[in-house]
């Protein structure tokens, strides 16, 4: 399954029920994670907060190809994407494993992923790009990315970059 997870509306057409799922986070109600660990202890694999995030993180887990589209703020994901990624903790277990010589949480039926991240913003500094690149590199281990690429672009060019990625997916 292929997943597009965006913090803004995208003018792309995907077939309902097809192999590509597009989720516009800006249209959803997603609360902040409260750090209660209920998704690990009380309701394993399910967040105790009942909002739209519970519909999204299963798609993140089962996708094998994904595209994140996020505005970059201070070298990190902007609010909508950051909040959703934090709320995706139920796809992991509380248990720890050694992965590439580091400790990481055991994944809960998470597919390995080929990821593309379109990081947009006006006048992103070299420092912001460097911080974001390192953040994605660290996230790659926790999010089961077997490979990833980051495309930095302006807000005006986001749609064009998304269409390029989709064209590659359809080959």
> What's the rounded Cα separation, in Å, for the pair 34 and 155?
31
What does pLDDT average to in each consecutive run of 10 residues of the chain (171 residues)?
Answer: 96 80 96 93 91 94 96 96 92 86 85 95 96 95 91 97 94 80
Residue-range domain boundaries for the chain = 2-169
Distance, C-alpha 34 to centroid of its chain: 19
Q: What is the pLDDT of residue 161?
A: 98
Q: What is the pLDDT of residue 4?
A: 97
| Domain 2-169: which CATH number of 3.30.559.10, 3.40.50.360, 3.30.70.1140, 3.40.50.800 | 3.40.50.360
Tell me the whole-structure pTM to 2 decimals.
0.92
CB-based contact 125:74 (threshold 8 Å): no
> What's the rounded Cα separation, in Å, for the pair 140 and 151?
15
Tokens of 48: 């105790």
Q: What is the pLDDT of residue 100?
A: 84
Q: What is the pLDDT of residue 165?
A: 97
């Amino acid at each position: 399954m292929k997943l597009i997870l965006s913090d803004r509306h995208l003018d792309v057409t995907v077939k309902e029920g097809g192999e590509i799922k597009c989720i516009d986070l800006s249209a959803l109600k997603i609360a902040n994670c409260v750090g209660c660990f209920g998704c690990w202890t009380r309701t394993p694999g399910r967040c105790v907060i009942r909002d739209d995030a519970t519909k999204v993180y299963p798609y993140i887990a089962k996708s094998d190809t994904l595209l994140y589209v996020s505005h970059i703020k201070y070298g990190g994901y902007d609010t909508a994407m950051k909040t959703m990624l934090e709320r995706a903790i139920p796809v992991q277990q509380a248990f720890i494993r050694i992965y590439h010589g580091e400790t990481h949480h055991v994944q809960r039926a998470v597919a390995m992923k080929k990821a593309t991240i379109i990081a947009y913003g006006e006048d992103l500094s070299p420092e912001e790009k460097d911080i974001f690149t390192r953040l994605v590199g660290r996230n790659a281990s926790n999010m089961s990315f077997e490979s990833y690429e980051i495309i930095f672009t302006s807000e005006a060019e986001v749609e064009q970059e998304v269409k390029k990625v989709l064209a590659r997916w359809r080959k």
